[in-house]
Structure 1
Amino acid sequence: MQSLFRDSCGRSALVLHSTPLQSAIAGASVHMGTTERGEQNPLLASPSHDEDERQEEKEDDPVQLGLLSRTLSESKELWRVAGPSIFSRVALYSITVVTQAFAGHLGDIDLAAISIATTVIISISFGFLLGMASALETLCGQAYGAKQYRMLGIYLQRSWIVLFACSILLLPLFVFATPILKLIGQSSAVAEQTGVVAIWLIPFHLCFPFQFTLQRFLQSQLKTAVIVWVSGGSLALHMLISWLFVYKLRVGLVGTALTIDFSCITMFGWESMIALGFLAATGVRVANELGAGNAKGAKFALLVSLFSSLVVGILFCTIVIAFNKKLAMIFSSSVAIINMVNELAVLLAFTILFNSIQPVLSGAAVGSGWQALAAVVNIGSYYLIGVPLGVLFGWFLSFGITGTWAGMISGTVVQTLILALIAVKCEWEEEARKAKTRVRNEAGLIGDI
């Protein structure tokens, strides 16, 4: 991948032109301080850089445009990132759904093993590495907005080194899956089979550092078409291979219907991929605007993303409430399971609604570089409020799965309110100044090496 930009001396500026050694040295030597070199654009020759910046800020200032036109313009930019991001996340999630669906035709133990391996072991790896990769949404997004294109490749190579090292540290989770599951009380048969599956999922796990970082690297530059093609091709190939193994190679018999948990989690999971797509899009748009020094544009990008995601969330709430029985039939023909899904439809709808707002606010935090603050809010809301209330309602007050789910929603509500308060209180002008200074300092330091 090469950038078409050249510097003022005519040298080629490659997006990935730095060596990993240079990247690692640069990462270790980062310090504060603005250099004269950091104040210049190293890639695009511009005789009057400050004047161009003022003109761009004026053109991008939402106040200079009408409400309708600027909303449509921002929506176009938002969906340019959100659309491919939603598709790629749906495709990735669907790979595990397809795997579990085909596993249902192999037997109960096989289904349980695949489910535990994908929803527990892989989810831990997924969440940990995805959270670390979110730093690229801040760094690459702000670098692209500040037109420091050379820094994109530097950040990408650093992330490869750090995330791959972390993925190696997570390997014991896969290698020792069987004893870990037995230790926490899982049956021996399921634990043994899950351990076998976990070993074969190691290559999948080792792909995450490169997949997650490359996606954010491309999203920050609005080069999202390749993400769509790769995600769609991977899903189609996975479905074909699964079909060949189950039906043509005769590795199992037709299984039983999937359980109620899988039904509800899958419907919620597919919708969540859309909300998470808005998270990525919001992070990119806010980071781009802050990197360009456009505080008003960053705030407006957040508002448009929040409105768009909320509209989609309301649409899915309506679909779930209106067609919950038919949706349940996709996964099971059991009358008991269909009726139970119907009872949980209202809770599922509320979950979808709040999870259409919360990821957008988290995306704003990522784009602004508030990952540490957002992590404290997320962990506190989940483990200090959601989980205790879920245990209280579900077990001690005997409300069962309804009470447990209601308790978890309470945590999500608190999380959403706190993130919203942080966004409202944010000094966007100050954040824009910090973002621009950070990128220029980094660019100056790399240029000195």
Structure 2
Amino acid sequence: MEKSSTAPLLTRKEEEEGASSSFMRDAWVECKMLWYVAGPAVLTTVFQYSLSSVTQTFAGHIGTVELAAVGIQNLVITGIAFGIMMGMGSALETLCGQAYGAGKLDMLGIYMQRSWVILFVTGLLISLVYIFTAPILKLLGQNDEIADMAGKYSIWMIPELFGFAINFPIQKFLQAQSKVMAMAWMSFASLVLHVLLSWVFIMKLEMGLVGAAITLNFSWITLVLAQLAYILAGSCKEAWTGFSWLAFTNLAGFVRLSVASAVMLCLEYWNLMVMILLAGLLKSPEIAVGAATICMNVEAWCMMIPFGFTAAISVRVSNELGAGRARAAKFSVVIVVMMSVIIQSIIVLVLMITRKDFPVIFTENKLVMEEVSKLTLFLSATIILSSIQPVLSGVAIGAGWQTTVAYINIGCYYIVGLPTAFLLGFKFNFGLEGIWSGMITGIALQTLILIVITWRTDWQKEAKLSKERLLVWGSSSNVPAIGSELGEQQ
């Protein structure tokens, strides 16, 4: 009797050990595939974000007003442009990623060119915001001196706007093919050049914000030209077949997906922008805005790894859905969320330990440093939540859920988070800490909803929708429908 009761137990134990071993093996393989894209994507994001961060750091050593002006221009005005351009460009993550997974490489270059057309026209419209920055900021209640200085700086930064229009489609085009290491090297070279030029123009030649604008524009233009040269030199022969008039076909459908992507990401990015604007309405706006922009700067630095994972999971999910491998897409989501949470928890621990020391990197003003130290707890909570949220946004982009997530963002950020921030910050007089607490409420709610949606997703159904999407977005009046051959085989 003993033998018969023990044997099944041992068998179950062996099965459990085998299942555990299989999971660890599959997780290790998935980690390597994710880091193959995420590693260079993290570096690319760090290097490209550092361009404006370096400029803001140099501006902080010019003066407090200059720091606030560059900070509010960078996070509000450039934030509007960056959010729209990156959002509209992220439509390529869905289309290029799923086309690549389905083996339709010839359409990637066409998609990128369509995105260039759309983003260039969008840039022309957004340039009006750059031109009228000063009156817009004053209308929103910002300090006149800060608004006027930010307005001048904003006009000088218009060339950067069109750099975004070319850069983001290139990024998504190369990411879909996992050609991210070249972008990382080019971004690194651009950053090194930018640091040197910023030191010369801002510190040595004492050109102030004019020097800051010259160096930042030049660095972005140099980066964009380098990436274009990389593509045109033949590094993506199957995906890039030259400029084509097909870039001007099927634009209406492409615009719809681009706008949905932009709305989704802009509502997330502008949530932080609103916090900066509300900080400008508090007493001592120079201190509040300066502290808030430094914290946002630190958060953006800390978010480089999740943003890299966002790119990686978008590529993995879109590629796997395009290839019809639903289970692999789901497994990839689980692994990337686990990695992001672990890494961000370590970063938060470091921030809490150094909360009285790290503000000196950005400013010499003691009052601003003290305010930043007080805000570190709120900053840490945001980073922990954001270890999951951007990754799930990447899943949404890879799967093509942009419209759904846009509605979620409206509810969480602007119906729940923003009113809560206003009440806590102004009605109950908790100041910047209250404003940030309200924003955290919106982020927490959004993260929870995205977790539930991702967990309950029917990935087999998403794989079928991916094939249908290729039929819709890949067709035009002059070319065969993308995926028609695949559809016939079905």
Partner of 2:488: none
Classify 1:443/1:184 alpha carbon distance in 2 versus 1 (closer, same or farther; 3 Å). Answer: closer
Instruction: Name the stretch that deviates more: 335-344 or 267-276.
Output: 335-344
Where has structure 1 moved over 6 Å in runs of 4 or more?
none
Residues 294, 362 of structure 2: 8 Å contact kept? yes
Identify which of 123, 143, 148 aligns with 1:167.
Answer: 123
Structure 2 CA distance, aligned partners of 1:274 and 1:172? 33
Match of 1:206 among 155, 158, 162: 162
1:165–1:409 CA distance, 2 compared to 1 (3 A)? same
Q: Is the 2:47–2:184 contact (alpha carbons within 8 Å) kept by the matching residues of 1?
A: no
Match of 1:261 among 282, 292, 298: 292
Residue 89 of structure 1, CA deviation: 1.6
In the alignment, which residue of structure 2 is the partner of 1:178? 134
Higher helix share: 2
**1:311: which partner in 2?**
342
Alpha-carbon spacing, 1:442–1:127, altered in 2? closer, same or farther (3 Å):
closer
Structure 1 SS opposite 2:335: helix
Q: CA deviation at 1:67?
A: 1.0
* CA 1:93–1:442: 2 relative to 1, 3 Å: closer
Matched, 1:102 2:133: no
1:6 alignment counterpart: none
Q: Match for 2:425 among 394, 398, 401? A: 394
Alpha-carbon separation, structure 1, partners of 2:38 and 2:472: 30
Further displaced range: 187-196 or 153-162: 187-196
- C-alpha displacement at 1:135, in angstroms? 0.8
Equivalent residue of 2:354, what SS?
Answer: helix
User: 1:369-380 maps to which residues of 2 (within 5 A)?
Assistant: 369-380=400-411
Contact 1:142 1:435 in 2 (8 A): yes
Q: Residues 87-129 of structure 1: CA distance to partner in whole angstroms, max 9, x if unpaired?
A: 1222222111211121233334433332222111100000011
443, 450, 455: which one pairs with 1:424?
A: 455
| Offset from partner CA, 1:389-417 (integer Å, 9 cap, x none) | 11111211222222211111110010001
Counterparts in 2 of 1:294 and 1:236: CA distance versus 1, 3 Å? same
User: CA distance change for structure 1 residues 252 and 69 in 2, over 3 Å: closer, same or farther?
Assistant: same
Shift of 1:337: 4.2
TM superposition shift of 1:198: 1.4
Aligned CA-pair RMSD: 2.4
Q: Judging changes above 3 Å, is the alpha-carbon distance between structure 1 residues 442 and 376 closer, same or farther for their aligned structure 2 residues? A: closer
Residue 407 to residue 443, structure 1, CA distance change in 2 (3 Å):
closer
Q: Secondary structure at the match of 1:324?
A: coil
Distance 1:117 1:332 in 2: 17
Matched, 1:69 2:15: no
Distance 1:198 1:144, change over 3 A: same
- Given candidates 64, 67, 70, the residue that maps to 1:114 is 70
Is residue 2:175 matched to residue 1:219?
yes
- Corresponding residue for 2:325? 294
Query: By how many angstroms is 1:334 displaced?
Result: 5.1
CA–CA separation in structure 1 for the residues paired with 2:371 and 2:134? 32
8 A Cα contact 2:61 2:363, kept in partner: no
What residue in structure 2 maps to residue 281 of structure 1?
312
- Whichever residue aligns with residue 372 of structure 1, its letter is T
1:238 aligned to 2:194?
yes
Q: Is 1:327 the equivalent of 2:283? A: no
Q: Which amino acid aligns with 2:105?
A: Y
Aligned equivalents of 1:428 and 1:345: distance in 2? Answer: 39
Q: Could you tell me how far apart the structure 1 residues matched to 2:473 and 2:335 are?
A: 30
AA of the residue aligned to 2:85:
L
Distance 1:187 1:329, change over 3 A: closer
1:439 to 462, 470, 480: 470
Cross-structure match for 1:448: 480
2:298 pairs with 1:342: no
- Distance, in Å, in 1 between the alignment partners of 2:472 and 2:444 is 38
Instruction: Single out whichever of 109-118 and 226-235 deviates more from structure 2.
Output: 109-118
Indicate if the aligned counterparts of 1:142 and 1:291 stay in contact, CA closer than 8 A. yes
- TM-score, normalization by structure 2: 0.74
**Distance of 1:211 and 1:191 partners within structure 2:** 28
**Aligned-pair distance for 1:442?**
5.2
Shift of 1:320: 1.3
Identity of aligned residues (%): 42
SS in 2 for 1:426: coil
Structure 2 unaligned residues grouped into runs of 5+: 1-18, 210-285, 482-490
Identify if the C-alpha distance between structure 1 residues 296 and 383 changes in structure 2 by more than 3 Å, giving closer, same or farther: same
Given that 2:133 and 2:147 are in contact with CA atoms closer than 8 Å, whether structure 1 keeps it comes out as yes
Cα gap change, 1:249/1:153 in structure 2, threshold over 3 Å: closer, same or farther?
same
Aligned residue number for residue 486 of structure 2? none
1:192: Cα distance to partner? Answer: 3.0
Residue by residue over 1:356-414, the C-alpha shift from the partner in whole angstroms, topping out at 9 and shown as x without a partner, is 00011111110000000111111221101111111111211222222211111110010
Farther off after superposition, 194-203 or 341-350: 341-350
Asked whether the equivalents of residues 148 and 439 of structure 1 are also in contact (C-alpha less than 8 Å), the reply is no
State the 1:338 CA deviation. 4.0
1:361 aligns to 2:405 (yes or no): no
1:205 to partner: Cα distance? 0.3
Tell me how far 1:441 sits from its aligned partner.
5.9
2-side partners of 1:357 and 1:351: how far apart?
11
1:405 and 2:454 matched: no
